[in-house]
Amino acid sequence: MQNETSKRKIEHIELALLESVERKEMNWFDEVILLHHALPDISPDEVDLSSNFAGKPVKAPIIIEAITGGSDLSKGINEALAIAASEFGVAIGVGSQRAMLEDKSLIDTYKIVRERAPDVPLIANLGMSHISTEKAVENAKAVVEAIEADALAIHLNFLQELLQPEGCREFPELFSNLVDISREVDVPLVVKEVGNGISGEVATLLESAGASYIDVAGAGGTNWAVIEGSRSGGLRRDTAYNFINWGIPTVIGIIEVRKHIKRAKIIGSGGIRTGIDAAKAIALGAHFVGAARPFLVSFKREGLDGIRSLLKRMIEELRLSMALTNSRSVEELRLSRRFVLTGRTLEWALQRNIL
């Protein structure tokens, strides 16, 4: 079971496992320092990590981000991710459902997530090219219904599309279609990037379009210029590699979006690799954090147990970071501004007047 879209997605999975896909230069988490609280007031076991995503309770504010679907390989990955999401009580997204719109026989490669994780928030997924069409609302409703999703994520992957040999260069009616989707699809709308970040100005537009969640998916983790560059040759490859350092680092994206939006919730993702990074993202203003590539790498190494170990470690590190900053709850960490900015992050924040 494979169409062109599924084949491309398998290539993406294989290439995403390469170490060179992580751009450490664009990961600015080291420039954010959490304020250490030396006098213990709470134990890590008292820290409350619980939250609520798309109307469903979660045990930790960590999201297994959109990765895959559309092939047998994807089905296996999705099944393991879903089992872990259910065990740990965290939200989970599926990868772009474009493949199942093109070939209905692929639905079960996504639906397996709902089957294995019946109680956690599940996020459907479509790309900007699949909503830049007259069928935008129809496509959006179809992908939500197919997997009984609790939310719908639309990914904005402009740079990736431009670097992809088969990518789109025009996105007609994108904004007005987002508005229609937010009005006509009856689950909350998440709008996300895929690794190049979201500015404050764009966040304002997305909020006005009706986005309930904005996932900054900034630079510093999975890098699509590397992935698409590796899939191409000649000039196209050179061009892709020249865009390796393009984008808004995740820590900056969170600060930008926090300053500009009024009611939407923020998901901080892109290069979050530890529970300490997660705590920093929350302290900067994120309500939730997400990761994608680490789950794929853990699955490749140790299957379901690898995913379990990763979640266990990240949750424990987040818990410890919260106790060490004297934060009893996710909301307390988010609102108390117990961080110091240094280096380029501070320069950016000052120049953009977003502190």
Ligand X SMILES: Cc1cc2nc3c(=O)[nH]c(=O)nc-3n(C[C@H](O)[C@H](O)[C@H](O)COP(=O)(O)O)c2cc1C
Among 61, 70, 195, 249, binds ligand X (CB under 6 A): 195
For residue 20, give the DSSP letter: G
Among 270, 275, 285, 306, binds ligand X (CB under 6 A): 270
129 is in an annotated binding site: no
By beta-carbon proximity to ligand X, the closer residue of 47 and 271 is 271
Interatomic CA distance for residues 351 and 348, integer angstroms? 5
8 is in an annotated binding site: yes
222 is in an annotated binding site: yes
When asked if residue 95 is in the footprint of ligand X (CB under 6 A), the reply is: yes
Tell me which stretch binds ligand X (CB under 6 A): 72-80, 135-143, 179-187, 189-197: 189-197
> Cα 104 from chain centroid?
25
Among 23, 75, 141, 155, binds ligand X (CB under 6 A): 155
Bridge-partner residues for 341, per DSSP?
32
By beta-carbon proximity to ligand X, the closer residue of 95 and 200 is 95
Residue showing the smallest CB distance to ligand X in the complex? 221
Alpha helices in the chain (DSSP H): 4-16, 72-88, 98-102, 108-116, 136-147, 158-163, 174-184, 200-209, 224-231, 234-242, 250-260, 275-284, 293-324, 330-335, 343-351
By beta-carbon proximity to ligand X, the closer residue of 121 and 323 is 121
Q: List the interface residues with ligand X, window 208-227 (CB under 6 A).
A: 217, 221-222
Helix-helix angle 343-351:250-260, to 10 degrees:
30
By beta-carbon proximity to ligand X, the closer residue of 143 and 292 is 292
> Rounded to 5 degrees, what are φ and ψ at 59?
-85, -20
When asked if residue 12 is in the footprint of ligand X (CB under 6 A), the reply is: yes
Residue with tokens 């939500």, as numbered in its chain: 144
Longest dimension (CA), the chain: 59
Q: List the interface residues with ligand X, window 114-153 (CB under 6 A).
A: 125, 153
220 is in an annotated binding site: no
Query: Do residues 102 and 93 make contact, with C-beta atoms less than 8 angstroms apart?
Result: no
When asked if residue 289 is in the footprint of ligand X (CB under 6 A), the reply is: no
98 is in an annotated binding site: yes
Among 47, 248, 296, 333, binds ligand X (CB under 6 A): 296
> Cα 290 from chain centroid?
5
Interatomic CA distance for residues 78 and 83, integer angstroms? 9
Phi-psi label, residue 122: left if phi above 0, alpha if psi -120 to 50, beta otherwise: beta
For residue 245, give the DSSP letter: T
Q: List the interface residues with ligand X, window 35-94 (CB under 6 A).
A: 65-68
When asked if residue 16 is in the footprint of ligand X (CB under 6 A), the reply is: yes
By beta-carbon proximity to ligand X, the closer residue of 58 and 92 is 92
The residue ranges that bind ligand X (CB under 6 A) are: 12-13, 16, 65-68, 95-96, 125, 153, 155, 192, 194-195, 217, 221-222, 269-272, 291-293, 296
Residue stretches of the annotated binding site: 8-9, 66-68, 96-98, 125, 160-161, 192, 222, 271-273, 292-293
